[in-house]
Amino acid sequence: MNRTVSVTPFPDQKPGTSGLRKKVPVFQTPGYTEAFIQSIFDSLDGFEGESLVIGGDGRFYNREVIQTAIRMAAANGFGRVLVGQGGILSTPAASHLIRKKEAFGGLILSASHNPGGPTEDFGIKYNIANGGPAPEKITEAIHARSQVIDQYKIADFGEVDLDQIGVSEAGGMTIEVVDPVADYAELMETLFDFDAIRALLKDGFNIAFDAMHAVTGPYASEILVQRLGADRASVFNATPLEDFGGHHPDPNLVHAKALYDLMMGPGAPDFGAASDGDGDRNLIIGKGIFVTPSDSLALLAANAHLAPGYKDGLKGIARSMPTSGAADRVAAKLGVEMHETPTGWKFFGNLLDAGRCTICGEESAGTGSDHVREKDGLWAVLLWLNILAVRRQSVAEIVQEHWAEYGRTYYSRHDYEAIETDTAHALMQALEEKLDRLPGLETGSLTIEKADSFTYHDPIDQSVSHNQGLRIFFEGGSRLVFRLSGTGTSGATLRIYMERYEPDPAHLGEETQDALRPLIDAAEALADIRKRTGREAPSVIT
């Protein structure tokens, strides 16, 4: 039996960079989760009798929301739901499942790299039939609907057994609990030379993969250990935990410090990697060398043809605006299109669907390709391993050869987390107001060439996205970008992105923060960060 339940709108249900992310107690507010899911369904047309994929990263509250979402899908008229066993689906695996099963769309329950637990973060995101995050016109419709919603529909049936693979019927709908790993692992086998990687590992090439007690544990165990023969001990923190063991499942140099220390220490493995809460991000560290996500994108694009799935070359490359220009130089050399989009994987979807790019990447540790419509952590790890298996060089040698050929883009991001929202907006507004007056200004040793607020014109659907970050370009090619994160759940996070291009082979080995010192000083001089935020230093430097 279906019920219609009255609800009053919640004013804060505006999806951010990647879905709605809030603290668990907010989602536990009576009617809150239901109102948002109903707002999603109310914003879609034509799903009667269609399939919906549902899965999450296994964090606290995942199972409860999955039960609710299944009952609401039935009451709203979906014909079938496909759910990952145990409620688990990594974000790229969910994207693949939507595409493979030709589902109408999917609900992905994750707050990505944010911490999990009873007082930590949760999130809900809707993905469309191409497997990618809903574009802005849908997320805006969801938000608009959430502001006027007055009821939701839910079917009355008991708990679905999420742990048993199989098919059942309830509320007039088919419920299929599927193996979350099998389809994804099979897809990876079609893209990469598993024999070559297996041979590399057999020859004593040591890897370390930190699953951060998050969703990639089962995927990495199946692919790296079972199918590729890596040592069982090389995949650690492989059991997904509801609170990620109390850590932030964020594969950066702060939260994956243990891996970083291992890779920089004596006797380090040859290759280290980590992924995040929902398995879409990646961190790559060679023996004694951290590869920035921007460099990793450039390197993967330059070498992708070494993997079977990309042997015919790339149609184009896309990167988010704050990501460094390292990949642009690869695109120029390959003679393929280069696209610059706003932050948010959803902006790559149209380009991928239209065949305008093959590989995409972001400074926020995301890389992926047209195999799915999400970024994909393990995909990046496997492409790296495939390249290493063919080139038989160390990560450091490959990176250094790349810099020698293309020049090096020194790059860093400074985050000021959980600052007061008003303070963050005031800082951005003050900077924006003076953008017009910046060209020609000297700050330290640097001279400003131009400055603007980034606007994106989507070349496929002609949509326009304004206010996507403040950019300050300096003579000589350096750049500063200021923007506020769209994924945080407490206060605001100010992100400052710095990059400097260095073509001179004699200056490729500097320490990154030293190489960027003039830009770090310029950011302070232009935005008064210390005075305005009261912070002496960034919370996270990546």
| Catalytically annotated residue among 43, 112, 294, 364 | 112
Judge residue 535's burial from the number of C-beta atoms within 10 Å of its C-beta, 0-12 exposed, 13-18 middle, 19 or more buried. Answer: middle
CA distance 497 to 47: 41
Determine, following the binding rule CB under 6 A, whether residue 485 of this chain makes contact with ligand G16.
yes
**Closest distance to ligand G16 from the beta carbon of 360 (Å):** 10
Task: Provide the minimum distance between the beta carbon of 92 and ligand G16 in the complex, in angstroms, as a whole number.
Answer: 11
For ligand G16, give the closer residue by CB, 39 or 343. Answer: 343
* Closest separation in Å from C-beta 195 to ligand G16: 31
CA 227 to chain centre: 25
Long-range pairs for 159-167 at CB < 8 Å and ≥24 separation?
A: 159/67, 160/67, 160/70, 160/83, 162/63, 162/66, 162/83, 162/85, 162/86, 162/87, 163/85, 163/86, 164/85, 165/85
291-320 mask for ligand G16 (x: CB under 6 A)?
-----------------------------x
Q: Looking at beta carbons only, is 217 or 269 nearer to ligand G16? A: 217
The interface mask with ligand G16, positions 33-72, x = CB under 6 A, is: ----------------------------------------
The residue among 38 and 275 lying less far from ligand G16, judged by its C-beta, is: 275
Residues 80-139 that bind ligand G16 (CB under 6 A): 112-113
> Which C-beta is closer to ligand G16: that of 62 or that of 112?
112
Check if 112 is active-site.
Answer: yes
Question: Could you tell me if residue 460 is left (phi over 0), alpha (psi between -120 and 50 degrees) or otherwise beta?
Answer: alpha
Rule CB under 6 A: choose which of 13, 15, 18, 522 binds ligand G16. Answer: 18
Contact 489/15 with Cβ under 8 angstroms? no
First-to-last CA distance in the chain?
A: 52
282 binds ligand G16 (CB under 6 A): no
How many residues bind ligand G16, per CB under 6 A? 17
Contact 459, 341 (CB under 8 A): no
Looking up tokens 């985050």 gives 415
502's CB contacts (< 8 A; 6+ apart) are: 407, 408, 409, 410, 508, 510, 515
Out of 13, 146, 409, 487, the residue judged to bind ligand G16 by CB under 6 A: 487
113/145 with CB nearer ligand G16? 113
Separation CA 248–CA 283 (nearest Å): 14
User: What is the token pair recorded at 362?
Assistant: 């972001």
Q: Does 345 bind ligand G16 (CB under 6 A)?
A: yes
| Nearer CB in complex with ligand G16: 286/366 | 366
Q: Residue numbers of the site for ligand G16 (CB under 6 A)?
A: 17-18, 112-113, 280-281, 320, 343-345, 362, 364, 366, 485-487, 495
Positions annotated as catalytic residues are 112
